[in-house]
């Protein structure tokens, strides 16, 4: 599997975009990235669209709504949580839900009176074999992205529903907002720092959000410490709420710090990236955390992207984006696309 992604500076190809005068430089760059992502990955033939949460996705919804009601009225928009649900409603877009995606009809049954009675009484089905419609595309943000497009998500406490939507989509598009490129990643560009794009996860964003059952919190904290997380902390509501943050699913969030996560190419001989030598590889840590009893979901989006899932002949999508869009301080939009396109079977 490839370990790097092509860089495309897309400002020269993006549609002209007039910035509202009130927008700061950072917000203007987020807006450009969002509009470019919609320009590249939104098609008027699509039926089901996933909408994530975060400040950048506000501009994704704005760009989609600008297509006009004659386009969007034929679509269904699936939110990842209460924030994105409100964005969809306020933009006047048709609202759906991930659990209401219709099943795919397999074959066709001619309905006569007897067949209708049998269906109504449960003696006969409609030829629906359990496969659900996929989302055509899902747009969402991220807190940090590495050079293989693995992501950390969950800063807004929506990670479970975000992963539900991402893995139901044929392609997940990440719009990550404002960055200044790292000099090491793009040597020809002058840069000093990066906000979202990092060579390895947990470089700037120091913790992994984990959504957990409140009853299991003490046990999970102890297990995280044994796995190498020095100070896992239950996220608090701060001035807005006394006590722990409660997610849309009635769960708590633990923010677990770990050292920067390696890629498979980083592993030295004899080190499997499983924590034994103090190092964790992204996929290995994601799988290990998910196996803890009481964990609903982990804010590491890793493994495969939707193109790989489709090429492997499997249903659904992948956790990783097929493309990530970053608004840069100089006004350009950087696009990173996944090089991993070959079919890869899911790993346990």
Residues annotated as catalytic are 162
CA-closest candidate to residue 305, choices 290, 285, 287, 323? 323
Say how far apart CA 31 and CA 312 lie, in whole Å: 35
Partners of residue 50 on adjacent β-strands: 78, 138
Distance between CA atoms of residues 143 and 165, nearest Å: 17
Evaluated on CA atoms 69, 72, 75, 81, the torsion sign reads negative
- Contact of 140 with 153, CB cutoff 8 Å: yes
CB proximity list for 194: less than 8 A, separation 6 or greater: 179, 180, 181, 182, 204
Sequence-distant (≥ 6) Cβ neighbours of residue 244 within 8 angstroms: 214, 234, 235, 236, 237, 252, 253
| Calpha distance 262→285 (Å, rounded) | 10
The token pair at 152 is 């950390």
């Amino acid at each position: 599997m490839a370990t790097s992604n092509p860089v495309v500076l897309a400002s020269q190809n993006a549609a002209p975009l007039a910035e509202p005068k009130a927008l700061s430089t950072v917000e203007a760059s987020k807006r450009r990235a969002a509009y470019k992502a919609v320009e590249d990955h939104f098609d008027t033939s699509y039926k089901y669209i996933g909408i994530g949460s975060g400040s950048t996705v506000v501009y994704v919804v704005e760009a989609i709504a600008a297509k006009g009601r004659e386009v969007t009225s034929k679509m269904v928009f699936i939110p990842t949580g209460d924030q994105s649900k409100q964005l969809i409603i306020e933009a006047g877009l048709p609202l759906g839900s991930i659990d209401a995606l219709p099943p795919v009809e397999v074959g066709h049954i001619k309905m006569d009176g007897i067949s209708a009675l049998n269906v109504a009484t449960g003696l006969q089905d409609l030829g629906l074999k359990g496969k659900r419609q996929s989302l055509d595309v899902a747009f969402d943000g991220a807190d940090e992205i590495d050079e293989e497009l693995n992501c950390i998500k969950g800063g807004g406490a929506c990670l479970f529903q975000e992963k539900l939507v991402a893995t139901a989509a044929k392609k997940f598009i990440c719009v990550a907002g404002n960055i200044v490129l790292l000099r090491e990643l793009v040597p020809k560009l002058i840069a000093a720092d990066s906000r979202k794009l990092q060579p390895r996860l947990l470089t700037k964003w120091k913790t992994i959000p984990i959504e957990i059952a409140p009853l299991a919190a003490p046990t999970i904290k102890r297990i995280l410490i044994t796995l190498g997380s020095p100070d896992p902390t239950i996220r608090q509501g701060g001035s807005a709420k006394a006590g722990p943050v409660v997610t849309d699913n009635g769960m708590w969030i633990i923010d677990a710090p770990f050292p920067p996560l390696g890629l498979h190419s980083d592993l030295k001989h004899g080190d499997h990236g499983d924590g034994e030598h103090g190092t964790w590889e992204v996929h290995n840590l994601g799988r290990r955390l998910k196996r803890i009893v009481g964990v609903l979901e982990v804010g590491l989006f890793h493994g495969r992207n939707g193109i790989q899932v489709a090429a492997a002949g499997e249903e659904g999508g992948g956790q990783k984006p097929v493309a990530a869009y970053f608004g840069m301080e100089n006004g350009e939009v950087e696009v990173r696309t996944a090089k991993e396109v070959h079919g890869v079977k899911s790993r346990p």
